[in-house]
Amino acid sequence: MSTQTYKGSCHCHAVAFTVDLDLDGALQCNCSICSRLGAVWAFAPKAKMTLASGADALGDYQFGKKHLHHRHCTKCGIETFAEGTMPDGTPTVGINLRCLEGVEVDKLTPKQHDGRSV
């Protein structure tokens, strides 16, 4: 696969965005929040994501070491993406692939990340 532009949104569509992603980098994680969400993630520099709407609807949830901002819609509750910073300082977004149009998440083979042990 290669980098493509995808459209994503929360359930109520208050939060909508486009993002350039390579789904070869898809990842599933067993940490306390990912296991509850059931999310499959892919990552991109934050500069590759454009928020079309919903800046005012985005909540911000943090836990543990608070490296990540889990961004959920305050109306419908769906976490469409999370924000963080790579070790080299690049602002990065993790996209919940289940919120994208035209992506069949169950046909992907995400890497398993042992976030629970980190």
Q: Which positions touch Zn ion (CB under 5 A)? A: 10, 12, 14, 73, 75-76
State the minimum distance, in angstroms, from the CB of residue 78 to Zn ion: 6
- 1: tokens are 């696969």
Closer residue to Zn ion in complex, CB, 43/72 = 72
Closer residue to Zn ion in complex, CB, 99/103 = 99
State the minimum distance, in angstroms, from the CB of residue 41 to Zn ion: 19
Burial track 1-15 (b if 16+ CB lie within 10 A, e otherwise): eeeeebebbbeeebb
Torsion sign over Cα 13, 68, 55, 92: negative
Closer residue to Zn ion in complex, CB, 14/27 = 14
* Matching residue, tokens 């929360």: 10
